[in-house]
């Protein structure tokens, strides 16, 4: 699994497995175990997904059965706006840590750009300085809000997780994030299964400095799903795959 390096030097896997819309405990636990067995090391959950305990159970089983060590995993969870305040962030963090069964978190995110984001971030910054969190991040911060936020906080977000795929490319937003030393991370990198991406064959074009600094360059003909991965890789975008699909887990990691 390829890693990218965050602005603070922490290394993070290029691709992760997300558990949005898997609330059933046993299904979620097995999905995470399957993902780990198939090579995933970044696991992405959130307080509002209502499955942190199942994720924690899968992590424990994977470690106890020597599939991985804790240090090989990169665990992300997200704070919901109902906990957005200086004290609320700390309470929400401890609640998530108890459910996950962890003694440190690899990355903690503000899930949405609403409410007391500055108070919550201040609490998160203190947790980061105390060594309880390795990286601070935000999710769904649109460009104007991201710029305002990044200019005002002490520690700038290291990741912004937003919807990104070839059908919603957000090139301007990606550039803004990178200008502030923030890595874009894609949720829905396969466009949530829309546009017939699992069965449709099409010509794929990439507009990326990795291939060309000034023009579109045709890559070739491939399945749209594969094209999504070519595109996100070319743009240096982290990807979060979702749900309990063993075939997708195996396919995306080769």
**Contacts within 8 Å (CB) and 24+ apart, 86-89:** 86/116, 86/119, 86/120, 86/122, 86/123, 87/123, 88/116, 88/119, 88/120, 88/123, 89/119, 89/120, 89/121, 89/122, 89/123, 89/124, 89/127
Q: Please pick, among 49, 84, 128, 229, the residue that the annotation labels catalytic.
A: 49
Distance CA 101, CA 56 (A): 6
At CA 78, angle to CA 75 and CA 83, rounded to 5? 140
Distance CA 72, CA 132 (A): 17
229 is catalytic: no
Distance CA 136, CA 128 (A): 7
Tokens at 71, concatenated: 């240090």
Distance CA 22, CA 170 (A): 27
**109: three-class secondary structure by DSSP:** strand
Distance CA 166, CA 168 (A): 5
Q: How far is CA 56 from the centre of its chain?
A: 17
Q: What is the phi/psi pair of residue 202, to 5°?
A: -155, 165
Active site residues: 49
């Amino acid at each position: 699994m390829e890693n990218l390096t965050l602005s603070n030097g922490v290394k993070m896997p290029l691709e992760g497995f997300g558990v949005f819309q898997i609330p059933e405990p046993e299904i979620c636990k097995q999905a995470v175990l399957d993902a780990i067995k198939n090579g995933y090391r970044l696991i992405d959950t959130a307080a509002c997904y209502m499955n942190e305990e199942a994720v924690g159970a899968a992590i424990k089983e994977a470690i106890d059965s020597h599939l991985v060590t804790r240090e090989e995993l990169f665990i992300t969870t997200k704070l919901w706006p109902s906990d957005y305040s200086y004290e609320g962030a700390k309470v929400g963090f401890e609640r998530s840590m108890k459910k996950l069964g962890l003694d440190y978190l690899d990355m903690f995110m503000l899930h949405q750009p609403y409410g007391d984001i500055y108070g919550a971030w201040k609490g998160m910054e203190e947790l980061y300085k105390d060594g309880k969190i390795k990286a601070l991040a935000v999710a769904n911060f649109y460009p104007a809000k991201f710029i305002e936020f990044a200019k005002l906080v002490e520690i700038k977000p290291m990741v912004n997780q937003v919807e990104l795929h070839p059908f919603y490319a957000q090139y301007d937003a990606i550039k803004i994030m990178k200008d502030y030393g923030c890595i874009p991370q894609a949720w829905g990198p396969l466009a949530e299964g829309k546009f017939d991406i699992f069965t449709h064959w099409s010509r794929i074009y990439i507009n990326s400095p990795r291939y060309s600094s000034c023009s579109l360059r045709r890559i070739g003909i491939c399945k749209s799903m594969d094209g999504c991965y070519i595109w996100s890789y070319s743009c240096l975008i982290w990807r979060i795959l979702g749900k309990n699909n063993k075939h997708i887990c195996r396919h995306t990691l080769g």
